[in-house]
A and B are shown apart, each in its own frame.
Chain A
Amino acid sequence: MTKSELIDAVAQRTRITKSRAEQVVNCVFEAMTSSLERGEGIEIRGFGSFTVRHYKAYNGRNPRTGKPVPVPEKRLPFFKVGKELKELVNEPLQRGTDGAAGSSGAGSDD
């Protein structure tokens, strides 16, 4: 699914026009982007959370030439899947395709 397909789906689901849905979807990701830009994490219950991770500079290598390349310090967004979504994504494997939304077997990992 692309962003424009997400916009279409949201428009249909909430019965608003595509252009309104587009404004909303764009606003959502802009708000999330600016939060990360400020170094602030994002927590969406049931979906997951984003945090900003700081990486120190290190010396890497160009894998093609083997030449050492200094890699400067950087910040990267890191996404941790929420419990609910984690289970949803794994559901077809764990419980077949019947889509039973049970709460069994939760919290077995980590």
Chain B
Amino acid sequence: MTKAEIIDAVYEKVGGFSKKEAAEIVEAVFDTMKEVLADGEKIKISGFGNFVVRQKKERIGRNPQTGAPIPISARRVLTFKPSQVLKGILNPHKEQLKAAAAKEAGLLPEGEAAGAADASAGGTNEDDATP
């Protein structure tokens, strides 16, 4: 999907705009996001995910070919963390897969597996997920 297709979707689904207006408004959405992120501020889109600017310290990297150490300067990088909602949409059969995986591994009886699944789904939010 490209920006042009997003503009088409806005033009068709929202309606009341010309194609040119739809293009300008979609452009404004991404331009606004870029400016906010350039300022170092994070963006939280509920149901989609969070865009977070992270401060990285200087560290020593290595040239993978030669193994020679190279300094990697301190920098700010942008990361995206998808929301649980978006993850859920991409994995509609998660519960079945989970149960099947548990069964195959012979780790937990079904009742307990469902309980454990719920607990971990609730616990992997915000902070303790991927660093």
Contacts and interface: CB of A to CB of B under 8 A. Distances in A.
A57 B101 contact: yes
B82 to A, nearest CB: 5
Contacts of B13: 27
Interface centre among A9, A59, A92 (most CB of B within 10 A): A9
Interface residues of B: mostly helix, strand, loop or mixed? helix
Nearest to A6: B32
B29 A6 contact: yes
Interface of A: 1-3, 6, 9-10, 13-14, 16, 20-21, 23-25, 27-33, 35-37, 40-48, 50, 52, 57, 59, 62-63, 68-79, 81, 84-86, 88-94
Contacts of B128: 63
Interface string B3-16: 10110011001101
9 contacts: A2-B43, A10-B32, A14-B28, A24-B14, A35-B1, A42-B2, A48-B80, A81-B78, A90-B76
